[in-house]
Amino acid sequence: MSTSSAPQPHGAPAHLVVVGNGMVGQRLVESLRARDESGRWRVTVLCEEPRPAYDRVALSSWFTGASEADLCLVPEGFYDGDPLLDLRVGESAVAVDRAARTVTTSTGAVVAYDALVLATGSYAFVPPIEGKDLPGAFVYRTIADLEEMRAHAAGRRVGAVVGGGLLGLEAANALLGLGLETHVVEFAPRLMAVQVDEGGGAVLRRHIERLGITVHAGTATAALRPGGDGSVARMEFADGNGIDTDLVVFAAGVRARDELARSSGLTVGPRGGVVVDSACRTEDPRVFAIGECACIDGGVYGLVAPGYAMAEVVADRLLDGASEFPGADLSTKLKLLGVDVASFGDAHAASPGALEVVYTDQVAGTYKKLVLSDDAQTLLGGVLVGDASAYPALRGLVGGPLPGTPEEVLVGTAELAGPTGNAVVCSCAGVTAGEITTAICEGGCADVPSLKSCTRAGTGCGSCVPLLKKMLADAGVQQSRGLCEHFPELNRADLFDIVRVRQVRTFSQLVREHGTGRGCDICKPVVASILASLGNGHILAGEQAALQDTNDHFLANIQKDGTYSVVPRIPGGEITPDKLIVIGEVARDFGLYTKITGGQRIDLFGARVEQLPAIWRRLVDAGFESGHAYGKSLRTVKSCVGSTWCRYGVQDSVGLAIDLELRYRGLRGPHKIKAGVSGCARECAEARSKDIGIIATEKGWNLYVGGNGGFTPRHAELLLSDLTTEELVRYVDRYLMYYVRTADRLQRTAAWVEALDGGIDHLRSVIVEDSLGICAELDAAMAAHVDGYADEWRAALDDPETLRRFASFVNAPGEPDRDIVFVVERDQPRPARPEERVLIGGPRLEVRK
């Protein structure tokens, strides 16, 4: 195969034709244009789709509100007004004449070239089964595919995905987002068989099934059968079983689109793909191939990182460089359905004599494997499921010694330094730690967006963005006040005002109009809280359900063994005998651990997710409502017995506590809120350790604010003295709404008051003296909250769609999760300790060869 450089004519620019405007084709054009300062090449790009290059890695975010503009990878104005660039959208190549050096397009145009790059990508593989072309059967490849899927899913109930790899799980997430009961059918014995091993696949499967997705591993799809309307109604398996389904998505892999190469006489690999050398050149020195359509070193790579590397090689070669393909780094780190999954190096221990050290914790849902050389001195690779926080550091150590014993590395006691030097930080763009450090220290990059622009790190899958933030912090760069990279100039208070003033109703609208990208695990829950605090409907309605964190997602606090706690509200700690009996009966009938808390509530622990609706149905029918123990909201208003019973009490602390708890129940804020009412100065309710502390006096009530009994205890400060009950409620209203409106994400009231310019005096001037002129707004906001309150659990029980999410296993709703194991202690159940879980194998450490 020739290795000579592509022809470089002098004078007029040479003509490069790029067939394909996917992620890799676009990277080639941008890289060449950035390097070609003298304008040696003019470029014609043939884009088959009706839209220019977009982020196919993030395709599923389209279902959560990402627009075409969000996904677009073409910089604004990139092709406009540049005489050296010609993008032809909706025009594909149909023939290549290598002798004449021309490409014929779908419009009949004949385009001459001096060099040709095939970046045609791949197509979705559809198994040759009966019924594969029925209406309701789709592939998961383009935005057009997703548009058709969403239209077909409207009003339907069940969806199935053929394929349990990376793309298949992305498709399953999309079906969940469409509100469908979801099945994944995988021919291999485990999910993500290419990336993870058997143990990692088992842990991943448990995570996926807990989300309500039914997994059929080791199962072959035999046929699709139509229903009465002619569209898909049933999927039949090779073993004779099957499932009823209204929609099927094929995500069983991809095949190289090499038809142009075949028809023009170029050599293709035995399993497809245009054969190229280390310069990404075919046997024709004027024709290159990159990305998923290229067969290099005998392999075709379906990841974006090797494709980007090929694009850089060709851009360099077109300008007389000598770059060669460095080989494919198949390391991956991603978050699938909220589960961290990573693999790096020799993940499957294929090296001769390789040792595997495995740590499994079934309770935490984590699986970690290190692959070591036969003398256990060199790290060769690994697999991480459930907790991939060590991935950046471990990946950078491949080929070198471990900084401790394997056991210390796996359980997290070894000190793992951040990546340095040539360690790759961003595998998608091939950016090293040294390049990031240079961009920060010498290039002046002070935030993630500037690092992305300067180095391209973080512009692919985005999994390296947390590491970019850490490297910025380690370099001493002061970070932006922004909430996250998607709202780089806006903090939580800014977003609250935007949502309130402009009446934004969805996260997708907010990020589209005032942010960038598609959002993350930081900004989504924050915006969910803001929307809830402004009365935007049930927190699990529509798009809002996808924004919630783990607790709010199921309206319950998840515990360390995967079960949930049930905490009904008991205002002021006052409860009737009949209601107390109901709680006892529920705890007995569902086998729950029961505890009276310091906040005058009764906690019931150990409920499986599928039990939650039944438990709450009985509690709601008995008059209980959600205690919001799972939310960043008002928890309790603790009280002593006050003047009702106590000989020292001077005011009715119980009555006031009940009134306040009922008034502020369900109020969502930046953090949880606790209050206390003491009936006299003896302070039996410990009110001054609360966010809101109220202490009775002979003349009325003293109001204290900004206390905290948490990680950093702080006594509340006196705000106002001797208030009437009416005055007290007014100022507490304003205090809470001012906090909700202006505090930062996860900022407790103690830290918020301390951070106010002027502290308690400023607070007093705002909510008492109305120095900012906003008291009327704060009063109205609280009135709207009180008038609009509705119990979240009662609403959930009345909505069949919401109830469908409460299942451990969709195909067996009543089947308990066998990974949840209890033992009895002091006549009550508790989670089994690790040493008591030997029969189910976790957590455990094992070495195998």
Please list, in sequence order, all residues whose beta carbon lies within 8 angstroms of the beta carbon of residue 405, skipping any fewer than 6 positions away. 414
Eight-class DSSP state of 309: H
Largest separation between any pair of C-alpha atoms in the chain: 105
Which residues of the chain fall short of a pLDDT of 70? 1-11, 64-65, 334-338, 363, 413-415, 417-419, 427, 460-463, 479-480, 546, 549-550, 560-561, 597-598, 709-711, 808-819, 834-835, 837-849
- How far is the C-alpha of 561 from the C-alpha of 559, rounded, in Å? 6
Residues 119 and 257: beta-carbon distance below 8 Å = no
> 706 with 760: CB under 8 angstroms?
yes
Pair type for strands 332-336 and 339-345: antiparallel
Cα-based distances in Å from 364 to 367, 782, 846: 9, 40, 17
**Res 788: pLDDT:** 92
| Pick from 55, 54, 208, 66: nearest CA to 524 | 66
Angle between helix axes 612-621 and 577-590 (nearest 10 degrees) is 160
779: tokens are 């009063």
* CA 160 – CA 137 distance, rounded (Å): 10
Topology alike, domains 137-252 and 554-626:
no
* Tally: H helices and E strands in the chain: 26, 39
Length of the chain: 849
Q: If you ran DSSP here, which 8-state letter would residue 212 be given?
A: T
Contact 687, 653 (CB under 8 A): no
- Strand 822-825 and strand 102-105: the pairing is unpaired
Which numeric CATH code is attached to 137-252?
3.50.50.60
pLDDT at 5: 43
* Whole-number Å distance between alpha carbons of 222 and 237: 5
Architecture of domain 632-790 in CATH? 2-Layer Sandwich (3.30)
Compute the distance between CA of residue 6 and CA of residue 266 in angstroms, rounded to an integer.
Answer: 17
Q: Which CA distances in Å does 290 have to 18, 50, 94, 123, 325?
A: 10, 22, 18, 15, 10
Closest CA to 3 of 290, 277, 315, 261: 277
Q: What is the pLDDT of residue 805?
A: 78
- The pairing of strands 137-139 and 14-19 is unpaired
- Architecture of the CATH domain 418-480: Orthogonal Bundle (1.10)
How far is Cα 801 from Cα 544, in angstroms, rounded to an integer? 14
Q: Alpha-carbon distance 849 to 843, whole Å?
A: 20
Contact, 679 vs 649, CB < 8 A?
A: yes
pLDDT single digits (tens) 91-146: 999 999 999 999 999 999 999 999 999 999 999 999 999 999 999 999 998 999 99
Distance CA 620, CA 791 (A): 9
One CATH from 3.50.50.60, 2.40.50.140, 3.40.718.10, 3.40.50.300 for 14-123+256-318: 3.50.50.60
Structure tokens at 518: 């598609």
Domain segments of the chain: what residues?
A: 14-123+256-318, 137-252, 331-415+818-849, 418-480, 492-548, 554-626, 632-790
Could you tell me the two tokens for 393? 């550091």
CA 223 vs. chain centroid, Å, equals 34
Cis peptide before 843 (omega within 30 of 0): yes
* Strand partners of residue 226: 232
How far is 536 from 229, CA to CA, in rounded Å? 38
For the domain spanning 331-415+818-849, the CATH number is 3.30.390.30
Q: What is the pTM of this model?
A: 0.60
User: Strand ranges (DSSP E) for 213-272?
Assistant: 213-217, 221-226, 232-237, 242-244, 247-250, 254-256
CA–CA separation, 749 vs 736, rounded Å?
A: 9
Task: Give the number of C-alpha atoms closer than 13 A to the C-alpha of residue 679, restricted to the C-beta side.
Answer: 20
Task: For residue 355, give both structure tokens.
Answer: 């040792």
Class of domain 554-626: alpha beta
Name the residue type at position 828: Q
Task: Give 675: exposed, middle or buried? Use CB within 10 Å, 0-12, 13-18, 19+.
Answer: buried
CB 722 within 8 A of CB 701: yes
What gap in Å lies between CA 452 and CA 16, rounded to an integer? 27
Cβ pair 309, 292 in contact under 8 A: no
**CA 447 to the chain's CA centroid:** 21
Q: Which helix (H) or strand (E) holds 469?
A: helix 465-474
- Is the separation of the CB atoms in 703 and 720 below 8 Å? yes
DSSP 3-state of 294: strand
Alpha helix stretches (DSSP H) within 572-652: 577-590, 612-621, 642-645
Per-residue pLDDT at 816? 64
* Rounded (5°) CA angle 540-629-727: 100
Burial class (CB in 10 A: 0-12, 13-18, 19+), 205: buried
